[in-house]
Structures are given as structure tokens and as C-alpha cells.
């Protein structure tokens, strides 16, 4: 009986999601912006704080920007973050009908693209690293649209119908989706064939991760990304899609595809190469986030782990829990 209820719940979730997709696909651009602002107001002014993890976001912002951010800045950034996230959901649903090669100049600006193109045409494997910043779905879709499809690493969704929808969506421009669980072999195979892999690099890696500073605080980061770059001689391209300010008469969102850094593992052959590469791409991501803090996912517990933490699960001190 429990299994039948679980399947029924998943089917209901999927049905509700498909209704939402249908409604958003037919909405004009200005309506999606207005709806995102309304939902952001509900999240910040109506719903209980514990439901929306606003305290986590506020603590992260205060610890990251310190005195340079007033309390008004913190609250404004949280509100704008929710607007950004709701707009991103709408954009993701509308991308298939909007992001086409013949109209990409109406949607995309480019920054540092010469270095990105040089990496793609180098004949070496390339790892594209980004974070929960900007519209990372636009970044992934753009490379497929431009004829450079790659392998996208993403989390397996609990709902199988929803997972298949997102799989079809992400593979619609020629990319291939692999889930994080057991992705190591698939990624290694792609890099061995001088292919392209896209991943987000700002998840907490637990007490076994490499601790490098992110906004002035040690953040646990997966060592596997730097190891893969070193083992497969893969160039590391760090970048993201930054949403540009809206203008009058605009018919859809516009983005700047920015290449923040290109890292060559050949420059890091020493014993501390993993830490140095990890630090460098983390610093590049921080520079991107500082350009548009409201476009980062501050409710994410990026500083959940801390140096010296036991590898066994322990309860963190209250002061530390507030910052992560």
C-alpha cells in the first residue's frame, strides 16, 4: 500500500508540474517577470522564515560581505535572489522555443569567449565548471545550440517522471545527462575521448573535501574535479550566464555568457596541484558571484562542513551552524 501511495503522489506531482509547464510556456515575458516578483514577495513576506530558509541566506550574506552589506542590502539581496530563481524556472521552461542559433544574438552577450573557444578547439578534453549562479541551464543549452554538446552531470531526482522530463530537456540540444551517483566512470570515459563535461562546483563535499576559501571562509570542495583535470590533462573553463538588466520593450531575458578563467592543469604538476586548482576555480566563481550577488543560491549550505570536523557525523556548535 505504501508503494502505491508513493507512486500516486509522484504522478500527482508530475501532473501538477506539466500543468505549470503548459501555463508558463504561453505566458508573455512581462507576465513571467511580474509573477516572479509576486512569488518572491510571498516567500519573503508571507511564508514562515523556516520554510524558505531565509535565515540561512541572511547568515551567509552577512558572513560573506561583512560591513560592506547593510541589513537593508541583505534583505534586498534575498528578495532579488527569489525573483531571480523564479525567473530562472520560467526561462528554463521557455528556453526550447527561445534559444535558437539564428536568434542567439538577441538573447546572449559574450565576455571572454575567445579563451573559451580556444579551449574548445584545443583538441584536449574540457571541463566546464560553474555554480548555482546566474542561469546555469542557459549555459548548458548554449553549448549544445552552438554545436559543442557535452556530458552534463546532475542529481538524480526522486520522482522518476520528473527526472525523465529534465533528462529530455537537457538532452534536447545534443547534450547527454549522467547522474552524480556512479558518474565517475562516465566522466572519465568522456575525458579520455577529449570530450566536454559540465558540472557545478560549489556543493559542500563534507569533511573529506579540500578546504579552500570562498568569500573568506573555508569551504569544503570536492577534490575529484581537480584530480580529473590532472589525470586527463583537461582544461578547466570557469564561467556562467549572468542575467542582464531588463530594458524597455525587451521580449525575453538577456544574458552575458562570461568566461571568468581558463585553468591549464599543466601549470600545476606539484604535490599540491589538487588544492591549487581547486582554490583557483573557487576564486573564479567568487568573482562571478560578486558581480551579481542576487543571482547566487544563498540558501545553499555551502559552509556546512568545517576544517577539523570529524568524518563521523557530529553536531556543529551553534555559532558555526548559523554561518552555514
Neighbours of 243 (CB within 10 A): 19
Please give the average pLDDT of every successive group of 10 residues along the chain, which has 324 residues: 84 93 92 96 91 92 96 97 95 81 82 94 96 91 84 89 89 86 84 94 93 97 95 96 90 93 93 94 98 96 87 48 40
Helix, strand or coil, per DSSP, at residue 93? helix
Residue 23 sits in which domain range?
2-323
Number of compact structural domains in the chain: 1
Beta strands in the chain (DSSP E): 108-111, 126-130, 151-154, 176-179, 196-200, 210-214, 217-221, 235-243, 255-263
Radius of gyration of the chain (CA): 20
State the pLDDT at residue 106. Answer: 83
State the pLDDT at residue 311. Answer: 59
User: Rounded distance, CA 261 to CA 280, Å?
Assistant: 9
Summarize pLDDT for 37-86 with one digit per residue, the tens: 999 999 999 998 888 899 999 999 999 999 999 999 999 999 999 999 99
CA distances from 102 to 24, 137, 308 (A): 23, 19, 53
Summarize pLDDT for 198-237 with one digit per residue, the tens: 999 999 999 999 999 999 999 999 999 999 999 999 999 9
Amino acid at each position: 500500500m505504501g508503494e502505491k501511495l508513493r507512486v500516486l503522489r509522484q504522478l500527482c506531482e508530475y501532473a501538477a508540474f506539466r500543468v505549470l509547464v503548459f501555463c508558463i510556456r504561453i505566458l508573455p515575458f512581462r507576465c513571467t517577470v511580474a509573477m516572479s516578483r509576486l512569488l518572491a514577495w510571498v516567500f519573503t513576506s508571507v511564508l514562515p522564515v523556516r520554510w524558505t530558509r531565509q535565515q540561512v541566506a541572511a547568515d551567509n550574506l552577512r558572513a560573506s560581505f561583512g560591513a560592506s552589506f547593510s541589513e537593508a542590502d541583505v534583505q534586498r539581496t534575498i528578495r532579488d535572489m527569489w525573483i531571480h530563481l523564479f525567473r530562472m524556472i520560467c526561462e528554463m521552461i521557455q528556453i526550447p522555443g527561445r534559444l535558437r542559433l539564428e536568434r542567439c544574438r538577441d538573447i546572449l552577450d559574450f565576455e571572454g569567449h575567445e579563451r573559451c573557444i580556444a579551449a574548445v578547439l584545443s583538441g584536449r578534453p574540457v571541463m566546464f565548471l560553474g555554480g548555482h549562479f546566474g542561469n546555469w541551464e542557459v549555459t548548458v543549452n548554449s553549448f549544445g545550440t552552438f554545436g559543442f554538446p557535452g556530458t552534463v552531470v546532475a542529481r538524480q531526482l526522486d520522482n522518476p517522471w520528473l527526472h525523465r522530463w529534465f533528462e529530455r530537456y537537457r538532452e534536447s540540444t545534443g547534450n547527454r545527462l549522467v547522474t552524480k551517483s556512479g558518474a565517475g566512470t562516465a566522466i572519465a570515459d568522456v575525458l579520455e575521448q577529449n570530450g566536454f563535461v559540465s558540472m557545478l562546483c560549489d556543493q559542500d563535499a563534507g569533511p573529506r573535501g579540500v578546504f579552500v576559501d570562498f568569500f573568506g571562509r573555508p569551504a569544503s570542495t570536492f577534490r575529484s574535479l581537480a584530480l580529473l583535470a590532472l589525470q586527463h590533462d583537461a582544461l578547466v573553463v570557469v564561467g556562467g550566464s549572468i542575467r542582464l538588466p531588463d530594458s524597455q520593450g525587451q521580449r525575453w531575458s538577456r544574458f552575458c555568457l562570461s568566461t571568468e578563467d581558463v585553468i591549464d592543469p599543466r601549470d600545476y604538476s606539484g604535490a599540491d596541484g589538487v588544492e591549487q586548482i581547486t582554490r583557483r576555480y573557487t576564486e573564479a566563481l567568487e568573482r562571478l558571484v560578486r558581480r551579481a550577488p542576487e543571482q547566487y543560491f544563498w540558501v545553499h549550505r555551502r559552509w556546512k562542513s568545517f576544517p577539523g570536523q570529524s568524518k563521523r557525523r557530529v553536531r556543529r556548535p551553534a555559532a558555526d551552524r548559523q554561518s552555514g
